[in-house]
């Protein structure tokens, strides 16, 4: 059941492919229009970070299941420089775009589960899940 589809991210067009992948999966799982759009936005944010800060990496999407709930899981991984101060990065208003509510805190707020693991010099992994209501 847990089939994973992945997209390599190394340029801006790959961000679009990652979005497409996520949208298809979200639609299949039965997410409504708004949630589909939100999930793709979250994917965009994660993919754009990979493209901008790590150079390349990948976005994987899979169907998730937990205690009878069904949902969509985004796994973003890269072998880039990593994030030094995760706590700071997760603060509202820290992003370079500043105050648009986007960036990692925005993704976290939007998704139901959010996990970030980053090691300076070796890379970053972010796993975010949204459950169907």
Residues that bind ligand ATP in the complex, under the rule CB under 6 A: 45, 49-50, 53-54, 78, 80-83, 89, 95-97, 100, 102-104, 124
**Selected binder of Mg ion within 36, 40, 49, 118 (CB under 5 A):** 49
Site stretch for other proteins (CB under 8 A), options 7-15, 35-43, 65-73, 78-86: 35-43
Q: Which of 70, 80, 126 is nearest to 103 (CA)?
A: 126
CB contact at 8 A, 39 and 64: no
* 129-to-10, 22, 63 alpha-carbon distances in Å: 23, 12, 9
Strand partners, 52: none
CB atoms within 10 A of CB 124: 24
Taking the complex as a whole, the smallest distance from the CB of residue 113 to ligand ATP amounts, in Å, to 17
Taking the complex as a whole, the smallest distance from the CB of residue 11 to ligand ATP amounts, in Å, to 15
CB contact at 8 A, 94 and 101: no
**Selected binder of other proteins within 6, 10, 41, 79 (CB under 8 A):** 41
Q: Residue 83 binds which one of ligand ATP, Mg ion, other proteins, none, with CB within 5 to 8 A depending on kind?
A: ligand ATP
Taking the complex as a whole, the smallest distance from the CB of residue 1 to ligand ATP amounts, in Å, to 29
> In angstroms, rounded to a whole number, what is the distance separating the alpha carbons of residues 44 and 53?
14
Nearer to other proteins, 53 or 94 (CB): 94
């Amino acid at each position: 059941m847990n089939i994973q589809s992945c997209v390599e991210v190394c340029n801006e067009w790959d961000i679009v492919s990652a979005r497409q992948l996520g949208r298809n999966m979200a639609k299949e799982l039965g997410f409504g229009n708004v949630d589909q759009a939100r999930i793709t936005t979250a994917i965009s944010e994660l993919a754009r970070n990979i493209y901008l800060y790590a150079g390349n990496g990948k976005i994987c999407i899979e169907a998730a299941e937990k205690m009878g709930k069904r949902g969509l899981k985004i796994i973003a991984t890269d072998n880039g420089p990593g994030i030094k101060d995760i706590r700071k990065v997760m603060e509202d208003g820290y992003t370079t775009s500043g105050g648009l509510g986007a960036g990692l805190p925005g993704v976290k707020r939007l998704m139901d589960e959010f996990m970030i693991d980053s090691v300076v010099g070796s890379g970053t992994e972010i796993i975010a899940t949204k459950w169907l209501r």
